[in-house]
Structure 1
Amino acid sequence: MHYAQLTGSFFLLPCILTASACVTPNPTPAAFTDFNDNIFFFPAANAVQWKTLYARSLQLADESLLMTWENYPAEPPLVSHPIYRSVDGGATYSNFSSIKDQVNGWGMRFQPFLYTLPQAFGGYPVGTLLAAGVSAPESLVGGVYIDLYVSKDSAKTWSFVSHIAYGAGPETITSGNAALWEPFLMMYDGLLVCYFSDQRDPAHSQKLSHVTTNNLLTWSAPVNDVAYSAYNDRPGMTTVAYIASTGEYIMTYEYCGSANCAVHYKTASNPLNFNAATGIALVGNDTAHTVPYGSPYVIWTPNPASASGSGVIIVSSGSLEPVLINGDSANPSGWEVLDVGQWSAYSRSLRIITTPAVKH
């Protein structure tokens, strides 16, 4: 992706994305307002590979916003996951800190994910920040870890906690290479869950797995979430949302291989048992029967106009500028295609945020 840059859009439905076109930035928007396509970071001229990729956000209790992404400066030094911070609703960002590899000597290379502990856990208080990401050598040969880091000071500093999962590599998408990708963190029933894409099983080119911990230090054996019988089928890029009104969980993923990376989803009352649920192709209910492809991301938000506590499921994909929305039941025929004025991009993420002016 030449001339890639990071953009942020913060309104009722903010999409965080990396964009591949070279775009002249708009004037800085006013703080805590609705806006689109606000570019706040350009990669260095000598940045390598994809320049920037896989942006992820987090809002803290003080309503500040954090942003991280895959960053590709020329090496050395080892790559790290930058942390940029905004205190004005995403209008401006400053370089705040970074998550650096402290144990492997490889760098933090792929797919960062930020998470706030919603409860005291593993000896850390509620509100502690966690970051998961993929550490691998620049050569991509020699092994790969999904690693966990913690911040006790609102992202100013980060410390290594544990290896979540290990693969022998090489860290490529070639079938047979024991690679790991795309961690996603979530608390459930007193456990921290890490979902990820898993190439270590010789029976599958790739499958979706999760592991759990009750102390942040030791992790369970992997459990399947999606694993297809055809070897070359490759489900990938797990994201999960809790539907508070029904007590159900929804997982989205791309189904590469025989389904050409069409977005699929599963629902389950227990997010540790997605493997027992049937995957459903996500198709828009418009006249074109729009099919989203690649890099989905799902969130659920309550509807402030609903007295019943019902809400909206929102799904982004890599192939569409619009998002798809549905009611709490995730009815296969209920997916409405909604234009939100955003660029399409690889692995857009979604987050509902609060501002001093408007509480969403």
Structure 2
Amino acid sequence: MLSNTMHYTQLISGLFLLPSILSTSACVTPNPTPSAFTDFNDNILFFPAATAVQWKTLYARSLQLPDESLLMTWENYPAEPPLVTHPIYKSVDGGATWSNFSAITDKVNGWGMRFQPFLYTLPQAFGGYAAGTILAAGVSTPFSLTGGVYIDLYVSQDNAQTWNFVSHIAFGNGPEDITSGHAAIWEPFLMMYNGQLVCYFSDQRDSAHSQKLVHVTTNDLHTWSALVNDVAYSAYNDRPGMTTVAHIESTNQYIMTYEYCGSGKCAVYYKTAANPLNFNSATGIALVGNNTNHSVPYGSPYVIWTANPGKSDGSGVIIASGGSQEPVFINSDNADPQGWKVVDVGQWSAYSRSLRIITVKGKKKLMFGNGGNMGDPSCNSVANGVIEVPY
């Protein structure tokens, strides 16, 4: 059996994390604990154990409950056994302080919940569950990264206190690494559309592609459709990855962001479409800032949309993040390729830094979720930030 370090080195060595896309601000001195219900940046909420493996934490994801309390989860890498889980931490003071609340544990495979958790609230009754039910998708695979991999779906009917397995969304034979030809799957993203739940993910199982982006749908949370391509480049070694999708409500369009590794050198790209099940017919566009330096974000993007806080005309702003840049990139509803404004937000970058619009005492704010960034494993803690919505 390989050592811990060798297992994770095998994984990271194929994630195309070139020096050019690693953060330059991996380590920061933790700020004093912010006051409740205020704005702040770089608030470390979880320090990994000294015995944690390799990069310690990654891939933070958040959710807000109806009472304005907040949840955060991430990839966690303690020494095993016991099996790794996706922890759930909770804040009841606007993200200033957090406590260990629950965990999503592997209840069916005996492997652990290892990679890329994602939290989603059902906006409507669906699949026998009430509106407001919380779903969690994540990657389950053995510590050895061999023997198979599932993207699994879990459900909580008590605001994330307890979790139950619902279904296997997708399966690959593995190994769960990025070696071309290995049947790995990664990075689930959930969204309701037209009465279906959609799960977008990265897929290495097609022998014609080192990796492509796909989605599957379900009408009942138990049975999932055949996959549909979203991004599949003709060059075998091209590897689009890390789908996130936002609904541009003002125009009823959808925007997808992804990293384009291979020919694209992991630059952030995006597509827009009227139907989020039909991104494959849209053309990918490089996301480039319209500042003097024409800043290019590389790696692990995230995108959201929100109503423009500076206007009352129903328009909105698209907010995108990339792993290599601390600033965010902001555009108007038309996602004009020349319209990406670069805005400094004071929050250090991270591998797949997440974005979420929350309310703090009824006022909209932008919250960041940071795990580690793979740049310096000595200080890869989980942090958040809460700021005014930029526009």
In the alignment, is the contact (CA less than 8 A) between 1:129 and 1:151 conserved in 2?
Answer: yes
Q: Which has the higher contact order (CA 8 A, sep 6+)?
A: 2
**Residue of structure 2 equivalent to 1:82:** 87
Query: Which letter maps to 1:198?
Result: D
Q: Structure 2: which 5+ runs fail to align?
A: 6-22, 366-391
In structure 1, distance between residues paired with 2:47 and 2:221: 35
Residue of 141, 146, 150 corresponding to 1:141: 146
**Residue of structure 2 equivalent to 1:265:** 270
**Residue of structure 1 equivalent to 2:52:** 47
Residue of 294, 299, 322 corresponding to 1:294: 299
Query: Which letter maps to 2:77?
Result: Y
1:340-351 equivalences in 2 (<5 Å): 340-351=345-356
**Residue of structure 1 equivalent to 2:131:** 126
In the alignment, is the contact (CA less than 8 A) between 2:146 and 2:174 conserved in 1?
Answer: yes
In the alignment, is the contact (CA less than 8 A) between 1:19 and 1:345 conserved in 2?
Answer: no
1:237-248 equivalences in 2 (<5 Å): 237-248=242-253
Verify: 1:96 aligned to 2:101, yes or no: yes
In structure 2, distance between residues paired with 1:64 and 1:301: 20
In the alignment, is the contact (CA less than 8 A) between 2:26 and 2:349 conserved in 1?
Answer: no
Q: Deviations over 1:86-114 (max 9, x none)?
A: 00000000000000000000000000000
Structure 1 pair 217/40, CA: closer, same or farther in 2 (3 Å)?
same
1:26-37 equivalences in 2 (<5 Å): 26-37=31-42
Verify: 1:156 aligned to 2:151, yes or no: no
Structure 1 pair 320/19, CA: closer, same or farther in 2 (3 Å)?
closer
In structure 2, distance between residues paired with 1:25 and 1:303: 31
Cα RMSD (Å): 1.4
Query: Which letter maps to 1:269?
Result: A
Structure 1 pair 290/22, CA: closer, same or farther in 2 (3 Å)?
closer
Q: Deviations over 1:327-357 (max 9, x none)?
A: 0000111011111111121110101110116
Structure 1 pair 338/23, CA: closer, same or farther in 2 (3 Å)?
closer
In structure 2, distance between residues paired with 1:19 and 1:221: 41
In structure 2, distance between residues paired with 1:19 and 1:37: 15
In the alignment, is the contact (CA less than 8 A) between 1:71 and 1:81 conserved in 2?
Answer: yes
**Residue of structure 2 equivalent to 1:310:** 315
Q: CA deviation at 1:359?
A: 4.0
1:166-205 equivalences in 2 (<5 Å): 166-205=171-210
In structure 1, distance between residues paired with 2:332 and 2:29: 37
TM-score by length of structure 2 reads 0.86
In structure 1, distance between residues paired with 2:78 and 2:159: 25
Moved more, 160-169 or 335-344: 335-344
Q: Deviations over 1:176-198 (max 9, x none)?
A: 00000000000000000000000
In structure 2, distance between residues paired with 1:22 and 1:274: 37
Q: CA deviation at 1:20?
A: 7.7
In structure 2, distance between residues paired with 1:122 and 1:224: 25
Residue of 54, 64, 67 corresponding to 1:62: 67
In structure 2, distance between residues paired with 1:346 and 1:319: 8
Query: Which letter maps to 2:199?
Result: C
In the alignment, is the contact (CA less than 8 A) between 1:32 and 1:357 conserved in 2?
Answer: no
**Residue of structure 2 equivalent to 1:358:** 363
In the alignment, is the contact (CA less than 8 A) between 2:26 and 2:348 conserved in 1?
Answer: no
In structure 1, distance between residues paired with 2:276 and 2:164: 28
Q: Structure 1: which 5+ runs fail to align?
A: 3-17
Q: Deviations over 1:286-321 (max 9, x none)?
A: 121111110000000101332221010000000111
Q: Deviations over 1:116-170 (max 9, x none)?
A: 0000000000000000000000000000000000000000000000000000000
In structure 2, distance between residues paired with 1:205 and 1:137: 22
Instruction: Report runs of 4+ in structure 1 exceeding 6 Å deviation.
Output: none
In structure 2, distance between residues paired with 1:283 and 1:170: 35
State the SS of the aligned residue for 1:164.
strand
**Residue of structure 1 equivalent to 2:286:** 281
In the alignment, is the contact (CA less than 8 A) between 2:25 and 2:349 conserved in 1?
Answer: no
In structure 2, distance between residues paired with 1:281 and 1:60: 34
Query: Which letter maps to 1:331?
Result: D
In structure 2, distance between residues paired with 1:247 and 1:277: 16
TM-score by length of structure 1 reads 0.94
Give the share of equivalent positions with the same residue, in percent: 81
